[in-house]
């Protein structure tokens, strides 16, 4: 369970920034005037460290 | 005073001041190879963060990303994505690289090959290849300095001479201060670059357009498809985007200078915490894109390598000389500090692994710098093109690290043939400009590399794995 959670936390942002990009390849909806594709990529760029921190906590101290 | 005198004096002052600060900070350190090349394996989380941010965010970050936003639009977004994935991958394998480095007293990236695969031929070949690949990266930094200084000189100075002077300063600095010096200088560099990028990415668009949305409206009015990717196999379309993000994120830490930074960490936990917090620096890239898009609307019409000048031209035309000077100083540091780390990496690989004398590293810094400078005089590519060329080659070393850590059966023959196959495919596809469904040639080469490596390893059932390998978890 723990291993699966760590795996998903690491892999999901990476997939969102690669194979899922075709799904986000649009201008609308614009968010604060920014095109959607840029917002999508930027969101996952900011969220990935949060996920990695989750992995770190799940691993515990070594 | 004329604007070019003010701007260049400020930029020069920033350069000299930073170098002086770093030299003062390292004055008590005795520079044996351990200290000089890997900082005595003493860097804590904050210091390592500064060094890696100093190495990773280069003149390419500053100018190349803005240049691509200006010249190509949405394909530039790959730059935002790949670093983030690169950090995630690094989180999982770099602590093992560090541990093996610590246990065996490793200094360079090829040392890892020697420790894990025990083949002198493989180690030396890898050393020579890495050395050849890092040189375009150094020349890339010189192109960055040239762009910055010619704009800060308002066209009144010979930028080539200015580049030579700035580079000479940094080479002497590298010779004296080694990796410790690069880390200390990064403190100044990171702070200044943050300031300059915040100015270019927030002040510029708000000044000219009032809001980010209006700025994007202007971009879209001129070219409606600028902010989305083309689909499928189109040049720099979706296939290209995905394969390039994968290639560059996998190769993210493969430069010899990055591996040296990994060895410099105090412990494995430091590296893990670094990988968590370093991505926050990516915020800078968003601002750089915005600066590039702003420049596209304000000063349209730049073509070819000139796109790298994008937002610097806006600053030059619309802002006082001292602003230009500060931004130019920050930009020069952003180019020259990574150049320093790269020279150090290249030089340690050459002296230690090819010639077998780690003590010669500091002298080869100077020899290699002179060579890189003369190569640079004969190159003419945009910054990103040079960077992609580097990544195509350097990423081919990654399977040797990953298999070396996580797969007992990998051996010198397997990873050697994989690297050879990968480099040949990468070079062939690049040299002949062969296009396969828009996919990045370096990524295809990496697939060939992995396939060859696995096949050869499986065929050699009788070979014993080196005992160092697989980590206890």
Digit-coded pLDDT (tens) for B171-193: 888 888 888 888 888 888 888 98
Chain A residue numbers touching B220 (CB-CB < 8 A): 27, 35
Task: Give the best residue of B86, B89, B96, B228 to mutate against chain A (max A CB count within 10 A).
Answer: B228
B224: closest chain A residue by CA: A27
B81 touches chain A (CB under 8 A): yes
CA distances (Å), B4 to each of B12, B26, B163, B240, B417, in order? 12, 33, 15, 41, 54
Residue closest to B361 by CA, chosen among B369, B370, B352:
B352
Number of other residues whose CB lies within 10 A of the CB of residue B30: 8
Residues of chain A in contact with residue B45, where contact means CB-CB under 8 angstroms, are none
Backbone angles phi, psi at B232, to 5 degrees: 50, -130
B199 to chain A, closest Cα gap in Å: 19
Nearest CA in chain A to B95: A62
Q: Tell me the per-residue pLDDT of B203-233, one tens digit each, with 9 for 90 and over.
A: 999 999 999 999 999 999 888 889 998 888 8
Residues B220, A27: C-beta atoms closer than 8 Å = yes
Query: What pLDDT, on a 0 to 100 scale, did the predictor assign at position B472?
Result: 38
CA distance A20 to B38: 39
Candidate from A21, A25, A32 with C-beta closest to B212: A32
| Residue B252, phi then psi, degrees to nearest 5 | -55, -45
Q: How far apart are CA B204 and CA B162, in angstroms?
A: 27
A17, A25, A33 ranked by CB distance to B229: nearest: A25
Smallest Cβ–Cβ distance between B246 and the set A18, A42, A45 belongs to A18
Whether chain B has a CB inside 8 Å of the CB on A57: the answer is no
- How far apart CA B187 and CA B160 sit, in angstroms, is 27
| C-alpha span between A27 and B177 (Å, rounded) | 49
- The pTM assigned to this predicted structure is 0.89
ipTM of the complex: 0.93
DSSP output for B204-234: HHHHHHSSHHHHHHHHHHH-TTTTSPPPTTS
pLDDT of residue B382: 61
Mean pLDDT value across residues A45-59: 91
Task: Name the minimum distance, in Å, from the CA of A30 to any CA of chain B.
Answer: 8
**Three-state DSSP class for residue A31:** strand
Strand partners, A31: A34
Report yes or no: A7 at the B interface, CB cutoff 8 Å.
no
Coil, strand or helix: which one is B361? helix
Exposed e or buried b per residue across B356-367, where buried means at least 16 C-beta atoms within 10 angstroms of its C-beta = eebebbbebbbe
In angstroms, the Cα distances linking B112 to A57, B231, B365, B417 are 29, 41, 22, 17
Identity of the residue in A14, A19, A45 whose CB atom sits nearest the CB atom of B80: A45
Interatomic CA distance for residues B131 and B140, integer angstroms = 15
Predicted confidence at residue B462, as pLDDT, reads 59
The Cα B369–Cα B381 span in angstroms is 19
Residue pair B373/B186 in contact by the 8 Å Cβ criterion: no
**Four-residue CA torsion sign, B316, B317, B319, B320:** positive
CA distance B428 to B440: 13
> For residue B98, what are its two tokens?
């560090």
Q: Determine, for residues A48 and B273 on separate chains, whether the beta-carbon distance falls below 8 Å.
A: no
Q: What is the pLDDT of residue B469?
A: 46
Evaluate whether B310 touches B67 at the Cβ level (below 8 Å): yes
CA B215, CA B178: separation in Å to the nearest integer? 44
Q: Using 50 as the pLDDT threshold, list the residues of chain B that sit under it.
A: 466-473
Determine, for residues A42 and B80 on separate chains, whether the beta-carbon distance falls below 8 Å. yes
CA distance A16 to chain B (A): 10
Closest chain A CA to residue B290: A34
CA angle B235, B237, B243 (to 5 degrees): 100
The C-alpha atoms of residue B61 and residue B90 are separated, in whole angstroms, by 20
CB contact under 8 A, A45 and B282: yes
DSSP 8-state class, residue B43:
B
Q: A15 — contact with chain B (CB < 8 Å)?
A: no
Q: What is the CA radius of gyration of chain B?
A: 22
| Residue burial B70-93, b: 16+ Cβ < 10 Å; e: rest | bbbbbbbbbbbbbbbbbbbbbbbb
Going by C-alpha positions, the residue among B136, B218, B133 that lies closest to residue B397 is B133
């Amino acid at each position: 369970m723990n291993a699966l959670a760590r795996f998903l936390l690491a892999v999901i942002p990476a997939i969102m920034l690669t194979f899922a990009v075709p799904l986000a390849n649009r201008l609308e909806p614009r968010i604060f005037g920014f095109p959607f594709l840029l917002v999508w990529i930027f969101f996952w760029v900011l969220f990935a460290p949060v996920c990695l921190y989750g992995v770190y906590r799940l691993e515990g101290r070594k | 005073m004329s604007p070019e005198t003010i701007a260049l004096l400020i930029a020069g002052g920033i350069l000299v001041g930073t170098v002086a600060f770093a030299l003062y900070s390292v004055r008590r350190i005795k520079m044996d190879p351990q200290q000089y090349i890997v900082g005595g394996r003493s860097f804590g989380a904050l210091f390592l963060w500064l060094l890696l941010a100093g190495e990773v965010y280069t003149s390419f970050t500053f100018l190349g990303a803005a240049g691509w936003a200006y010249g190509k639009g949405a394909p530039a977004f790959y730059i935002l994505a790949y670093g983030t994935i690169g950090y995630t991958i690094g989180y999982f394998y770099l602590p093992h690289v560090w541990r093996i480095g610590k246990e065996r007293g490793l200094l360079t990236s090829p040392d890892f090959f020697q420790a894990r695969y025990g083949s002198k031929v493989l180690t030396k070949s890898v050393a020579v290849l890495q050395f050849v690949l890092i040189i375009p990266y150094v020349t890339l930094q010189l192109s960055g300095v040239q762009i910055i200084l010619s704009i800060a000189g308002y066209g009144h100075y010979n930028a080539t001479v200015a580049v030579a002077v700035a580079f000479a300063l940094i080479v002497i600095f590298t010779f004296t201060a080694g990796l410790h010096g690069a880390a200390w200088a990064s403190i100044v560099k990171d702070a200044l670059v943050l300031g300059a990028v915040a100015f270019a990415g927030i002040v510029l668009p708000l000044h000219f357009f009032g809001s980010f949305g209006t700025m994007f409206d202007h971009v879209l009015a001129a070219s409606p498809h600028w902010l989305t990717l083309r689909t499928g196999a189109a040049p720099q379309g979706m296939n290209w985007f995905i394969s390039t993000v994968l290639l560059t994120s996998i190769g993210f830490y493969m430069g010899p200078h990055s591996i040296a930074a990994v060895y410099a960490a105090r412990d494995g936990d430091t590296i893990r915490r670094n990988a968590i917090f370093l991505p926050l620096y990516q915020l800078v890239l968003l601002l750089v894109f915005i600066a590039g898009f702003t420049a596209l609307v304000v000063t349209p019409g730049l073509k070819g390598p000139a796109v790298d000048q994008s937002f610097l031209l806006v600053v030059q035309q619309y802002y006082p000389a001292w602003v230009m000077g500060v931004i130019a100083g920050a930009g020069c540091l952003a180019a020259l500090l990574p150049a320093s780390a790269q020279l150090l990496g290249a030089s340690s690989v050459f002296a230690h692994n090819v010639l077998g004398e780690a003590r010669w590293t500091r002298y080869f810094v100077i020899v290699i710098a002179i060579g890189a400078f003369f190569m640079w005089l004969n190159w003419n590519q945009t910054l990103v093109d040079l960077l992609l060329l580097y990544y195509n080659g350097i990423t081919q070393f990654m399977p040797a690290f990953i298999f070396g850590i996580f797969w007992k059966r990998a051996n010198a023959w397997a990873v050697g043939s994989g690297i050879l196959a990968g480099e040949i495919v990468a070079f062939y596809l690049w040299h002949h400009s062969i296009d396969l469904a828009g996919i990045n040639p370096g990524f295809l080469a990496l697939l060939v590399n992995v396939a060859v490596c696995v096949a050869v390893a499986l065929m050699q059932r009788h070979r014993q794995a080196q005992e160092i390998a697989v980590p206890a978890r």
